[in-house]
Amino acid sequence: MSDWIDTDLCVIGGGSGGLSVAAGAAQMGASVVLIEGHRMGGDCLNYGCVPSKALIAAAKKAHAHRSSAPFGVTADEPAVDYAAAMDHVKRAIATIAPHDSVERFEGLGVRVIEARAAFCSPSEVEAGGHVIRARRFVVATGSSPFVPPIPGLDSVPYLTNETLWDLRERPSRLIVIGGGPIGLEMAQAHRRLGCEVVVLEAFKALARDDAEIAAIALDRLRAEGIDIREGAKATEVSGSAGAIRVGLEGGDAVEGSHLLVAVGRRANVSGLGLDKAGVEHTDKGVTVDGGLRSVSNRRVYAIGDVAGGLQFTHVANYQAGLVIRNALFRLPVRNRTDIVPWATYTDPEIAQVGMTEAEAAESLPHGWEVHRFDFAGNDRAIAEGRTEGLIKVVVAKGGKIRGASIVGPQAGELILPWALAMSQGLKIGAMAGVIAPYPTLSEVSKRVAGAYYTPRIFGRPWIKRLIRLLARLG
């Protein structure tokens, strides 16, 4: 016999987005059922953002040993304990985990069911012997690593971002299939921890980013000894643990001790019974409208990776707020993607919000400009020996900010004021007029904004004539 539960809101998926919806709705007085069939915290806490940034932090410590000579500190080759670095990763996860725990959410008044969920009708979900009837459902099941159908791949041991964290022994030679953010972040981290690394990218590495920005980061990664091969399509995989061979289109091959597959992610839609619920979907996710509501079942919303859009934790959290407003208060909402920033945590970091220069050339017919400022002109960057970097800003007619691209130290932090400016409709003058503390890296934003006004002020002969006239008048 099934236990029947009636609730205001049923959230399927205990990752970042689902947890945000459940916590917010419960604290506003709604009755909430949260269903999670694997690990609370989802991919971000257990396999993605948190562990990867913890390993990157360990790798930066190792790199500091090798790169300290310019500061008068004797450089040396660090003794890396790979297992201890992975212990740091696990400690970071364990420290954050209580915030995402069953106990915390039950304390907020959320009923948590730890089981797999599947729709059994347009208005009911079954999970763990319960049938949940809800006014509204939120599908927040995230995504999983996409494993490409490369011949032979299923016969050799390979890693994904979900299994990488189980390693205890450092790979001697790591092959990474995929030159996107995940692949390159892990490539650089492992290189700095003492591994040989080769990255195979079938097309162009960091293809989503501004080409000029990406080139600076890729040059740094190559300078650190990472073999990045673009246009290198894997056609077959063979071998065994410790001796893996990846054949490439054209006849070349690469050999290594370990293989990491990082070619993208696939929305988790299978097994959810979406057809029984009349929820239209594809392998990219649930088909939703501009308010994240299913186009075919108005009881159902989808957020995060399973909504078929940008796959970032902060996007899921942003969308959670939209769903709460619409599902609980029936307020109109619009899922905006033009103001979403993102960062790639290589060193130097890459960050982006809005249009790149290439996108502006395609989308803005006329009246737009691109302005640049190099980190080499920033006093703090010079003092810290971190002058590798560039900020680019796309400005449309009338000073409207349409995009910002940054590569350099702390780019992920530096992108925030640009995201704020775009979300609030501020113009470039707001950034040019802000007072930045000196010396900070944040001055690059003020300086690039000032570059917009340089030709408008110093390139106008009438301004000089006006100054001379005023001087004669005393």
The dihedral region occupied by 272, where left means phi > 0, alpha psi between -120 and 50, and beta the remainder, is alpha
Query: Does the annotation list 474 as a binding residue?
Result: no
Positive or negative, the CA dihedral 311, 314, 315, 316 is positive
- Three-state secondary structure call for residue 11: strand
Positive or negative, the CA dihedral 193, 198, 199, 204 is positive
Query: Does the annotation list 142 as a binding residue?
Result: yes
Query: Does the annotation list 15 as a binding residue?
Result: no
Query: Does the annotation list 53 as a binding residue?
Result: yes
Residues contacting 275, CB < 8 A, separation 6+: none
Task: Provide the edge-to-edge strand list for the sheet that holds 390-395.
Answer: 341-344, 349-354, 401-408, 390-395, 369-374
User: Where would I find the beta strands (DSSP E) of 13-110?
Assistant: 32-35
Query: Does the annotation list 305 as a binding residue?
Result: yes
Amino acid at 170: R
Query: Does the annotation list 183 as a binding residue?
Result: yes
Query: Does the annotation list 185 as a binding residue?
Result: yes
Give the tokens for residue 230: 């673009």
User: Cis peptide before 181, with omega less than 30 degrees from 0?
Assistant: no
Taking the CB of residue 256, how many other CB atoms lie within 10 A of it?
A: 22
**Which helix or strand (DSSP H or E) is residue 121 part of?**
strand 117-121
Cα 392 to its chain centre, rounded Å, is 20
What does the alpha-carbon distance between residue 315 and residue 16 come to, in Å, rounded to a whole number? 10
Query: Does the annotation list 179 as a binding residue?
Result: yes
- Three-state secondary structure call for residue 107: helix
Query: Does the annotation list 455 as a binding residue?
Result: no
Query: Does the annotation list 178 as a binding residue?
Result: yes
Beta bridge partners of 372: 392
Query: Does the annotation list 60 as a binding residue?
Result: no
Query: Does the annotation list 283 as a binding residue?
Result: no
Beta bridge partners of 240: 243
Which residues participate in the annotated binding site for NAD(+)? 178-185, 201, 264, 305
Name the binding residues for FAD: 53, 141-143
Residues contributing to the annotated binding site:
53, 141-143, 178-185, 201, 264, 305
